[in-house]
Chain A
């Protein structure tokens, strides 16, 4: 087969245009580097998204037939992609979510933008499990500071008296006023000593640069037509492209990293989905930011006589220590919210208040390590596909309007049922815990020896199981949510999950926070990359997504991916200047 070689040698080739790749492209291009940016998906700009679409504008009313989070969600992709399989080792599960589009998952992510705190980089020192990062919060703080100001994030700095000392201060835009039901959560959680505080989301409540402030339509997951929330194509790629230094190649599926006899990276080969032809890009430095597992896949697939186990994998650790956040949920119905007063409760596309992890595991002698934060949802959302589904499970819980009970229990039809839908609409509040797993070598992805995708690229096989740590944490979530719902005077919308379902913990991968798999460390025998996300084996190869994480936190990963990518990109510029790479 003919391979088309680009005549030009770029300073840098970046694979992936999401959070990590977008930040690297911007930083490197603005510093004057010529950049080839390879993106496996098509062009996307949220200006053309489905904002303001009503469900009745589509015959499927927004059903998730083709997109896991509903028809109007911005994700091109999901847990399964035609022609791009992955496999799982028998008896284990990992569900791998991939967005194939310019900007990747940043187009429709939840915009929860939390810094990791000082303890999150030193967990082993706290509880003896896993490993410490080779960097500390102080090393990364300046980058978080700059990202807050560059991208925009709302929130508040927490008063010391709240004791939230693992939730660092930042540079915040004012947060949106809480919704009434969020105040109700706070009022009741105050009684339980669970702090409820303004959330931290990368949504503009004030104009920033060319981007106008949010107009509170609550549809961030569809992409924002005014670019008021953060996504890579809204915030990072425009300035990158404006430098004139970036050659953006979409529909370009990277196959492997190419190397020379010295073992240095010389570029990337890719297949173009537009013409099905093979191409190579030559570059002096290669940055992988294809989402953590895809980065591991590229490294493992880049085999040569010099690197028989894959590029940058002399440690054998590429693919190991895969992590996803833990997740568990419970929701309640609240009589005081039934027959709610109509008003526009949309607000931003996400919670205005949340609960950071509030317990010291050691002091409280909890039977699990690491914590979780709690996300709040509910209220009078736009009626959408699945509206009050399963109402027969709960519409008898509060009896009739006159206080009488329903002898036949839930369900029904006719005038009373129609009235029930009105009574129950907007009367729910739900709680989702998102927590920290312990990094284990035994949770990993590797190349499946038998299976290739439709371009002949060997695919990943996952091997992931929750340990007792995560399952006990999920139990704590269920107990906490039940206590909160009862304190608020509500009733559970569905039964609390028990031991038979591992306390409702979601399957690994379902929270879509894949990190790890090319973790950073000082010791080249234990970690594929150093503290600047530079391969120990191949000094002009870098990773700029979540693959370098040593541990997850009880926080979502993207703000840290962005900070690390900025730091790595500036290190590349520095090393270039010094002639080291």
Chain B
């Protein structure tokens, strides 16, 4: 067991050395030297981490600001209406969704016009219907407005720009929430870890109405 951990540590350290020289050295390589080692490596543990790693270029993007304060507030309110907290997990802003959307505007600048214009559209429509900006409306009023753009099939054609904006915004929120640690835990994704795959558990097979008897003619790993 210790031996095996050493193998992984060697490997992990190679992982962070980086650079051409290190890569070349590791080509004639790595970790497991003896047959026992390779057998044991089958069960090896990898170190995973939650650490946010930000490159220099990404830091530069993060240092810039795209949304105005008002826009950021609107993004936050809107995102939380789309993904509110419930008994299983928190809301969109608790999962860092507004910061993610802010970053994407700089990372993929082609979204900027549609996003900024869409937020503006929302405020204009709020003014028209309720004489206030979107974030100043009551939650009930906000939902009244969203009901007009959140259901493409029944939306009034005159609201089509709002519908399109909301479709895109909903997608951004979904990615932001469900790729966060909170969202991944919410979905109960269990993977991204070293393991030995032995097939799907009986309850899953039963649910889908299938059985490994259907493939018993083949030998699996």
Contact = CB atoms under 8 A, between A and B. Distances in A.
B81 to A, nearest CB: 6
Contacts of A469: none
Interface string B172-202: 0011101111011011111111111111110
B175 A180 contact: no
Given A175-B220, A391-B170, A54 B192 contact: yes
B23 A387 contact: no
B106 to A, nearest CB: 10
Interface stretch (B117-125, B126-134, B203-211): B203-211
B15 interface: yes
Interface in B78-110: 81-84, 86, 96, 99-100, 103-104, 107-108
Contacts of A409: 151-154
Nearest to B33: A210
A270 interface: no
Interface in A177-210: 177-181, 183-184, 186-187, 198, 205-207, 210
Contact of B191 (A59, A345, A410, A411): A345
B58 A380 contact: no
B41 A48 contact: no
B69 interface: no
A205 B38 CA distance: 12
Given A390-B167, A414-B84, A57 B49 contact: yes
Interface stretch (A5-13, A311-319, A415-423, A538-546): A415-423
Chain B CB within 10 Å — which of A47, A242, A343, A391 has the most? Answer: A47
A399 to B, nearest CB: 14
Contacts of A227: 29-30
B116 interface: no
A27 B191 CA distance: 39
Interface centre among A59, A207, A218, A396 (most CB of B within 10 A): A59
Interface stretch (A320-328, A333-341, A526-534): A333-341
A19 to B, nearest CB: 17
Given A159-B217, A389-B175, A421-B174, A337 B208 contact: yes
A219 B30 CA distance: 19
Contact of B11 (A179, A226, A380, A389): A226
A59 B29 contact: no
Contacts of A238: 27-29
Contacts of B221: 154, 173-177, 205-206
A15 B22 CA distance: 23
A176 B166 CA distance: 42
Contact of A207 (B11, B38, B62, B166): B38
B187 A180 contact: no
A183 B210 contact: yes
A130 to B, nearest CB: 35
B152 A392 contact: yes
Interface in A232-255: 233, 237-238, 241-242, 248, 250
Interface in A284-332: none
Nearest to B92: A418
A489 to B, nearest CB: 10
B23 A177 contact: no
A336 B205 CA distance: 11
Contact of A413 (B24, B82, B99, B153): B82
A384 B179 contact: yes
Contacts of B153: 396, 408-411
B3 interface: no
Nearest to A183: B210
A346 interface: yes
Interface residues of B, number: 100
A413 B41 contact: no
Interface in A415-469: 415, 417-418, 421-422, 425
B20 A60 contact: no
Contact of A344 (B26, B42, B99, B191): B191
Contact of A411 (B35, B62, B152): B152
Nearest to A48: B15
Contact of B150 (A212, A348, A389, A413): A413
Contacts of A211: 32, 38
By Cβ-Cβ distance, the 8 closest A-B pairs, closest first, are: A409-B153, A212-B41, A342-B188, A177-B199, A180-B200, A55-B179, A205-B221, A207-B38
Interface of B: 11, 14-18, 20, 22-24, 26-33, 35, 37-39, 41-42, 44, 46, 48-54, 58, 61-62, 81-84, 86, 96, 99-100, 103-104, 107-108, 143, 146, 150-154, 166-167, 170-171, 174-176, 178-181, 183-184, 186-201, 203-205, 207-212, 214-215, 217-221
Interface of A: 42-45, 47-48, 51-52, 54-63, 65, 102, 154, 156, 159, 173-181, 183-184, 186-187, 198, 205-207, 210-213, 215-219, 225-227, 233, 237-238, 241-242, 248, 250, 336-337, 340-348, 380-392, 396, 407-415, 417-418, 421-422, 425
20 contacts: A43-B23, A44-B23, A47-B14, A47-B23, A52-B48, A52-B193, A58-B58, A59-B61, A183-B210, A211-B32, A216-B194, A218-B192, A219-B192, A225-B15, A241-B24, A345-B190, A386-B171, A387-B178, A389-B175, A411-B150
Given A216-B196, A408-B153, 7 more contacts: A45-B23, A56-B52, A212-B38, A341-B204, A342-B189, A380-B190, A418-B84
